[in-house]
Amino acid sequence: MGINMNILYIYAHQEPASFNAALKTVAVETLEKAGHKVKVSDLYAMHFKPVLDAGDFLQRKKPDKLALFPEQINATKTGTFVPDIMEEMDKVKWADMLIFQFPIYFTGMPAIMKGWLDRVFAAGFAFDPITQGFYENGLLKGKKVMMTITTGADETVYSESGAHGDIHTLLRYITHCIFEYTGLEVLPSYIMFSVNSQSKEIGQQRLEKYGEILKSF
């Protein structure tokens, strides 16, 4: 077991009685029992706004035309993002590790979670296109990240020769183009296939395996 960490758990699922909800419960209980501090951003329960737009800024550098990167960089410097963004940024600053848990929708993450990334991993905060603050110089360098993922489809559908293709290739736009781009150290994902048709026994085995994975942190 490693040192105790501050862990931000970003969760996207609508149903409190779902298998995904059970995974989240196992995660929080396991991590806290191991001595880690955990904060949860339950995006659907929070009614988190996923749309990045002009309303994200309390004041604008150039109110006549929206240029997102300059406005985000300015808002990062001046602390003038709207409160929901500032609150999530404070959680990210606090965290040593981020865990993103979500079901696959159309081979990617749900829109509400992508919107969280669009709004919270802002220019000037998570990366800086002006100073080349990305990849090895990403502004979140020193933090770790992993994904916990469920699918409705069978594993063969997400194989290299399957209908959707290799799931790791599909997820690379997240692991490389978002996480590594912002400097995060990417840990292996925990992926569970066919959760909608799994037996209670398989579901329990997956919950126990998830707990064992998290105990290793």
Pinpoint the alpha helices (H) of 34-185.
Answer: 43-46, 68-78, 83-94, 111-120, 167-170, 172-174
Confirm if 96 and 145 have CB atoms less than 8 A apart. no
Report the domain count for the chain. Answer: 1
**In the prediction, which pLDDT does 3 show?**
87
What Å distances lie between residue 4 and 61, 140, 164, 169, CA to CA?
Answer: 40, 19, 38, 32
Chain segment 110-135, per-residue pLDDT in tens: 999 999 999 999 999 999 999 999 99
- pTM for this predicted structure: 0.96
Q: Does the annotation mark 36 as catalytic?
A: no
Q: The domain containing residue 23 runs over which residues?
A: 6-215
The amino acid occupying position 113 is: M
In a domain, 48, yes or no: yes
In a domain, 64, yes or no: yes
* Residue 191 confidence class, pLDDT cut points 50, 70, 90: very high
Average pLDDT over residues 26-48: 98
In a domain, 1, yes or no: no
Distance CA 54, CA 52 (A): 7
Catalytic residue among 44, 162, 164, 165: 164
Q: Does the annotation mark 211 as catalytic?
A: no
For residue 56, give the CATH number of its domain: 3.40.50.360
In a domain, 176, yes or no: yes
Inform me whether the pLDDT recorded for 12 exceeds 70: yes
Distance CA 58, CA 30 (A): 39
Q: Does the annotation mark 133 as catalytic?
A: no
What are residue 6's DSSP bridge partners? Answer: 37
Chain segment 54-77, per-residue pLDDT in tens: 999 999 999 999 999 999 999 999
